[in-house]
Amino acid sequence: MSAELSPIDKAKFVAARRAADFVEDGMRVGLGTGSTAAWLVRCLGEMVRENGLRIRGVPTSSRTASLARDEGIEVITLDEARWLDITIDGADEFDGALNLIKGGGGALLQEKIVATASDRMVVIADAAKEVAHLGAFPLPVEVVPFGWRTTEALVAEALESMDVMGRETALRMNGTEPYVTDEGNYILDLRLGRIGNARQLALVLNQMPGVVENGLFIDICDTVVVGHGDGRLELRDINAGTVTEDRVDFADNENLFRDLGE
């Protein structure tokens, strides 16, 4: 089955497989949303079923919650957990300081709440997600539906004074209707090209009435696990200032791939 995976999927898998090693018995674990995070949930499910790992997972979306239950992971709410030992999630972009853009999957609000309620946040990503400057990926901004056009106009006005390359805004759609988040909100995607001062932009956006949260994750991520299609990976720890290399052998994970093919 591993031979049928694309190089990108292999890179996502090896990052997820290695990040799963950070999870220890008895932990309360934040479970991210998206294609890379889905690999992590599958890896943890295998460890629960085959190794007897006992964890409680706090999903960041209804999609992740459904997958976690299917994998045999005990699912609880953040209110029940109160605080988490670790959150493992993907990212749409990350820079050299491990600042992120997240929200391509539409779960940025819950993702940020869960990540900041954790002792440690680990991001899993393929190498293509690394950028010199954030902004090539459209920045998601979650807004309340009431008066969203006014909120969009306020955001566009604020961008005029921001250090960004582009200033196009668009309402995210789901077919012919606006995309609706798990919290019942809309998402504006800001096509900025390059963000000169991500910290300032995050603060300005969140001061606007109608804006619920933005997809800039500043000083939240502790570790990034970067996967490559040939099984190589890098672990970058922002707190320790270290970069270490490792490798995941696809042959050691035949059971997981077999499960995906059934």
Residue 111 bears catalytic tag:
yes
Count of C-beta atoms within a 10 Å radius of residue 186? 22
Is 104 annotated in a binding site? The answer is yes
> Helix count (H) and strand count (E) of the chain?
8, 17
SS3 134: coil
Residue with tokens 């994998």: 71
Is 105 annotated in a binding site? The answer is yes
Radius of gyration of the chain (CA): 18
Is 176 annotated in a binding site? The answer is no
Nearest Cα neighbor of 115 from 170, 38, 58 is 58
Distances (CA, A) of 204 to 53, 95, 192, 239: 43, 20, 15, 27
Give the Cα separation of 112 and 215 in Å (integer).
8
Give the Cα separation of 35 and 233 in Å (integer).
18
The answer to whether 15 and 227 have CB atoms below 8 angstroms apart is yes
Is 129 annotated in a binding site? The answer is yes
Catalytic residue among 111, 142, 152, 213: 111
Residues 6+ away with beta carbon under 8 Å from 261? 1
Element containing residue 114 per DSSP (H, E): helix 108-116
Is 57 annotated in a binding site? The answer is no
Q: How many CA atoms lie within 13 A of 18 on its CB side?
A: 28
Is 89 annotated in a binding site? The answer is yes
Is 90 annotated in a binding site? The answer is yes
The answer to whether 101 and 92 have CB atoms below 8 angstroms apart is yes
What's the chain's length in residues?
A: 262
Is 91 annotated in a binding site? The answer is yes
Is 96 annotated in a binding site? The answer is no
Q: Which residues are annotated as a binding site for substrate?
A: 33-36, 89-92, 102-105, 129
Active site residues: 111
Q: Which residues are annotated as a binding site?
A: 33-36, 89-92, 102-105, 129
